[in-house]
Chains A and B, each alone.
Chain A
Amino acid sequence: MRIQRATATILSTIFMGLGQIYNRQFVKGIIFFLIESACVYYFIGNLGRALWGIATLGDTPNHLAKVNGITKMVPGDHSIYILIQSLITLFVLILFLIAWVMNIRDAFQTARKREAGIPVNNFKQSLRYVRDYKFAETFLILPAVGILFFTIMPIIFMILIAFTNYSAPSHVPPAKLVDWVGFETFRNLLALKTWSHTFYGVLTWTIIWAILSTVTTYFGGLLVALLISQQGIRFKGFWRAILIIPYAVPQLISLLLMRNLFNGQFGPINQYLRYFGLGGLPWLTDPFWAKVTVIIVNMWVGIPVSMLLIMGVLTTIPRDMYEAAEVDGASNFQKFRIVTLPMVLFTTAPTLITQFAGNINNFNAIFLLTGGNPVNGNYQYAGSTDLLVTWLYKLTLDQNKNNMAAAVGIIIFIIIASFSIYNYRRTNSFKQEDMIQ
C-alpha cells in the first residue's frame, strides 16, 4: 500500500496539485494546480532574463544606431531597473518554491493517512483545520508579504548596491551601465584617504552625539520627574501637562521652529542676548556651537519622554522601601541614591540602550535643525553636524553616490544591531530572573 504515498508525492513534485487530485482532494488540487500554472507562465517570461540581469546588470549602454537609415540614440539597459526586476522575480521564485515544498509535503501526508485508512478531509474540513490549528500562520501571511516586499527586498537591494559601482558621475543609468565591484566600495570608505577622513570624522561625532543626547535627555528627565514627584509639590498633574507639551508638538514643527529661534542674525534668542548686553552667539553657523545647539534642542524634544517613562517607574517603587530607609535614618539624598536611582536604572536600562541606538539614527534632529551644516571643507559632502544617517541621505539624494551610501548604511546597521541584540539578550535574562514585577 506504500505505493499511494510514492505516487502522490511524485505527482505533486511533477506538477503542484496533481498529488492532491490523486488523493481525491479536488478543490485543493485545482487551486494548487492554478497557482503553479500562473507561476510557470510568469517564469517562462521572466526567469531567464532575471538570472541574466542579476549576473550582468545589463550589457548594452545607450548607444548610437542606425534606425531606418537615420542615426539616433537607442536606449540601452538600465542596470538598476534590471536589478530590481530580477530581485522581484527571484522573490516570487522563492515564494513559489516554498509553496511547492508545502504542496509535496501535503500530498505525502494525505496519502499516508489514506494508507492508514483514515478518510481524507474534504475542502470544507481542510478550511476548518486551518482555522483551528494553523491560525497563527494564516494570520501572519499578510503582514509577512508586506514586510517581505517593502522591507526585506529593499534592504537586500541596498546591500547589493554596496557591491556595485552605482555612483555619480560615471556610473549612473540610463546613460551608463553599473557593474559589480565586490568589496571595493568598503575598501574606499575605510582606507582611501578622501573618504576615510570623512567617515571616521562623522562616525566619531555620531557616537559623541548619541552618548551626549541620550545622557542629557535621560538625566534631564530623571531630574524633572523627581522634582515633580517630590513630597509637598502641589498641582503635580498641571506641571506634568505643561512639561509634556514639547513631546506633543510634532518634531517637524518644533525643529523647524527652533532653527528660526536660534538664527544668528534675527533669531529671538540672540535678540534677547543682545538686549541683556551680551553678544549673540553663532548658534548654527559655527561648528562647535552648532553641535551645542543640536544637543540643547534635542533636550527640549527628548526630556518629556524620559520624564514620562521615569515617572511611571517612580510610582511602582514600593513605599515601604522608603519607610525602611527612613527608619534607618537616611537623608533625602541617601534615599535617592540607595532606593530610587538603582530601581529606576534597573527598570529603564533597556530603554536607555534603545534610546542610544535610536539617537545614532536620529535623522530628524539633525536634518531639520541644521541640515548637517555648517559646511566642513575637509569633508566629502558632509557638514560638521552630519550624522552617519544624514550623510547617507546626502550621498544618495544629493550626490548620487549610491554605492557609498549603501556601504555607510550597512555599517550603521552593524553598529546598531550589535547594541540591540545585546540589549535584547539582556532583557530576556531580566525577564527570566523575575526580579521586578
Chain B
Amino acid sequence: MIGRKFANISRLAVSYIILIVLAISALYPAIWIVLGSLRPGKSLYSKHFIPDQLTLVHYKELFTSQVYLFGTWYMNTLKIALCSMLIGVLLTLLTSYAVSRFRFKGRQTALSTLLILGMFPGFMSMIAIYLLLKEFHLLDTHLALIIVYAAGAPLSGTFIAKGFLDTIPRSLDEAARIDGASNFGIFSRIILPLSRPMITYMALTQFVGPWVDFIFARLILRTKENWTVAVGMWDMVNTIQNSNFTLFSAGAVLIAVPIMILFAFLQRLLVDGLTAGASKG
C-alpha cells in the first residue's frame, strides 16, 4: 500500500516537472518578444533576459514613424480581414447548407471536386490570379485581396461546416416545414442560430487567415500605403537584417495579442471545430 502511494506521488511529481518544463518552453518565446518590445535600443542582443530598463518608445514609434506606417497597415488589415471574413463565412454557409440539406443532381461530384481542388498548392495558382487581377485592373487594391480570400473560403471551410450541419437533426427542419416555413426561413431561423459555434469558428479562421497571410498580400500590394500588417512586418525584419528587432517585437505584440485573446475566449469552440472536422469529415 505504501509502495503504491509512493509510486503515485513520484508519478505526479515527474508529471508536474515535465509540465513545468513544457509550460516554460511554450511561454518562453512569447515572453521574450514582449520583453524585446520593451527593451531600449534596436538590437536583438541583450545581456540579461529581463532588460534593465523598460520603455514604450517602440510602440510610439510604430505609430509615428515615417518609414513604418504601422497604423495605416493595421487599419488596412482590419478592413480586409473583416470584409473577407463576412463574405467568406456567408459563402461557406451557403455552400455547406446546400450540400448538407439538399440532394440534387451533381451533389457528389460537387463535393469531390471541392475536395480535390483543396489539395492544389495554394500559390501554384498565384501567378494566374495575379495575371487575372491585372486583367481586371485590380492590382494593388484591397478589393482584390478581399475577393480572392472570400472566393477561396468555401474551399477550405465547406467540409468542416457541412460536418457540423449534418449533426443538426433534420426533424427540426421538417417540423418547421410543416409549420409552413420556406427554405430560406429554415435557414435563417433554425440553421443559423443553431450553428453559432460553427459560425464563430469559421469567422475566426476566416479572420485570422487574411490577418497573417503575407505571401499573397506581398504579391498583390505594391505601394507601402496599401500594405497589410503581415507584409510590413516581413519587410521590417527581412530587408534591414535584424536592425529593427525591438520595433518588430512591438508590432508582433500588437498583432498577436488580439488574436490570442480571441483564441482564449473561443478555446472550447476550437476543440469542437477541430473534432467535428476530424470525425465527421
Chain A interface residues (CB < 8 Å from chain B): 80-81, 84-85, 88, 131-132, 135-137, 139-140, 142-143, 146-147, 149-155, 157-158, 161, 224, 227-228, 230, 232-233, 239-254, 256-258, 260-261, 263, 266-268, 300, 304-305, 308-309, 311-313, 347-348, 350-351, 357, 361, 363, 367, 389, 392-393, 396-397, 402, 405-406, 409, 412-413, 416-417, 420-421, 424, 427-428, 431, 436-437
Contacts and interface: CB of A to CB of B under 8 A. Distances in A.
B116 A248 contact: no
A350 B278 contact: yes
A347 B278 CA distance: 8
B82 interface: no
Given A233-B15, A260-B245, A417-B116, A242 B27 contact: yes
A140 B110 contact: yes
Contacts of B101: 136
Contacts of B116: 417, 420-421
B224 to A, nearest CB: 18
A256 B26 contact: no
Given A157-B127, A244-B267, 13 more contacts: A88-B132, A131-B183, A140-B110, A143-B92, A153-B132, A230-B15, A243-B26, A250-B208, A250-B259, A260-B44, A267-B44, A363-B121, A363-B123
Helix, strand, loop or mixed for chain B's interface?
Answer: helix
Given A243-B23, A347-B278, A132 B132 contact: no
B218 to A, nearest CB: 9
Nearest to B114: A147
B214 to A, nearest CB: 6
A146 B101 CA distance: 21
B210 to A, nearest CB: 11
Contact of A131 (B15, B115, B128, B182): B182
A140 B95 contact: yes
Contacts of A427: 281
A127 B152 CA distance: 29
Contacts of B272: 312
A215 B19 CA distance: 20
A398 B125 CA distance: 16
Nearest to B111: A424
Contacts of B190: none
A256 B248 contact: yes
B12 A246 contact: no
Interface stretch (B57-65, B67-75, B230-238): B230-238
Contact of B117 (A151, A247, A257, A351): A151
Contact of B29 (A88, A150, A254): A254
A347 B280 CA distance: 10
Given A158-B124, A242-B27, A251 B98 contact: no
B274 A308 contact: yes
Contacts of A416: 119
B139 interface: no
Contacts of A413: 119-121, 124
B86 interface: no
B136 to A, nearest CB: 10
Helix, strand, loop or mixed for chain A's interface?
Answer: helix
A81 B133 CA distance: 11
Contacts of B248: 256
13 contacts: A142-B91, A146-B147, A227-B22, A232-B8, A233-B15, A241-B264, A250-B211, A257-B29, A257-B32, A266-B44, A308-B271, A309-B275, A428-B281
Central interface residue in A140, A254, A427, by most chain B CB within 10 Å: A140
Contact of A154 (B129, B155, B184, B211): B129
A402 B147 CA distance: 25
B278 A351 contact: yes
B45 A308 contact: no
Contacts of A224: 22
A150 B182 contact: no
A244 B263 contact: yes
Nearest to B104: A136
B91 A308 contact: no
Contacts of B115: 420-421, 424
B78 interface: no
B128 A253 contact: no
Contacts of B117: 147, 151-152, 155
Interface string B234-278: 100100001001001000100110011001100100111011011
A389 B121 contact: yes
A241 B263 CA distance: 10
B223 interface: no
B215 interface: yes
Contacts of A256: 233-234, 237, 248, 252
Nearest to B219: A397
Contacts of B12: 230, 232-233
Given A139-B97, A417-B116, A248 B260 contact: yes
A249 B260 contact: yes
Given A153-B132, A413-B120, A137 B151 contact: no
B274 A153 contact: no
Contacts of B242: 260, 263
B94 interface: yes
Contacts of A240: 267
Contacts of B98: 135-137, 139-140
B245 to A, nearest CB: 7
A409 B182 contact: no
A140 B162 CA distance: 14
Contacts of B91: 142-143, 146
A151 B127 CA distance: 12
B155 A151 contact: yes
A263 B32 CA distance: 15
A208 B127 CA distance: 28
Interface string B193-217: 0000000000000001001101100
B124 A147 contact: no
Contacts of A152: 117
Given A158-B125, A257-B29, A396-B127, A132 B183 contact: yes
A257 B212 CA distance: 14
A149 B132 contact: yes
B279 A143 contact: no
Contact of A84 (B18, B19, B27, B131): B131
